[in-house]
A and B are shown apart, each in its own frame.
Chain A
Amino acid sequence: MTAVGETLPELSIDATPTFVVSTAIATRDFQDVHHDRDKAQARGSADIFLNILTDTGLVERFVTDWAGPNARVKNISIRLGVPAYAYDTLTFSGEVTAVDGDDITVSVVGRGKLGDHVIGTVLVTR
Chain B
Amino acid sequence: MTERIHDEVERVKAAGASAPKPGRDPVNQPMINNWVEALGDTNPIYVDDAAARAAGHDGIVAPPAMIQVWTMGGLHGQRNTDDPLGLMLRLFDDAGYTSIVATNCEQTYHRYLHPGEQVSMHTTLEDVVGPKQTGLGEGWFVTTRNVWTVGDEPVAEMLFRVLKFAPRPASPDRSAVLRPIVGHDNAFFWEGTAAGELRVQHCPTCGRLRHPPGPMCPSCGADKQDWVVAAGRGTVFSYVVHHHPPVPGKQLPFVVALVELEEGVRMLGELIDVDPATVHVGMSVQLALTKIDDELTLPFWRPAS
Contact = CB atoms under 8 A, between A and B. Distances in A.
A40 interface: no
Contact of B253 (A52, A53, A55, A115): A115
Interface string B44-78: 11000001001110000001111011001111010
B112 A76 contact: no
A29 B105 CA distance: 15
Contact of B63 (A52, A57, A77, A115): A57
Contact of A115 (B34, B44, B51, B243): B243
A29 B38 contact: no
B35 A57 contact: yes
Contacts of A101: none
B253 A75 contact: no
B253 A56 contact: no
Interface residues of A, number: 38
B124 to A, nearest CB: 19
B64 A25 contact: no
Interface in A35-67: 43-44, 52-61, 64-65
Contacts, number: 110
**B43, B54, B77, B243 interface centre (most CB from chain A within 10 Å):** B43
B106 interface: yes
A60 B112 CA distance: 14
Interface in B20-51: 31, 34-35, 37-45, 51
21 contacts: A22-B37, A26-B34, A26-B37, A26-B38, A26-B69, A28-B74, A53-B69, A56-B105, A59-B65, A61-B41, A69-B51, A73-B65, A75-B108, A77-B105, A78-B104, A78-B106, A80-B101, A80-B105, A114-B252, A114-B253, A115-B253
Interface of B: 31, 34-35, 37-45, 51, 54-56, 63-66, 68-69, 72-75, 77, 99, 101-109, 112, 167, 171, 243, 252-253
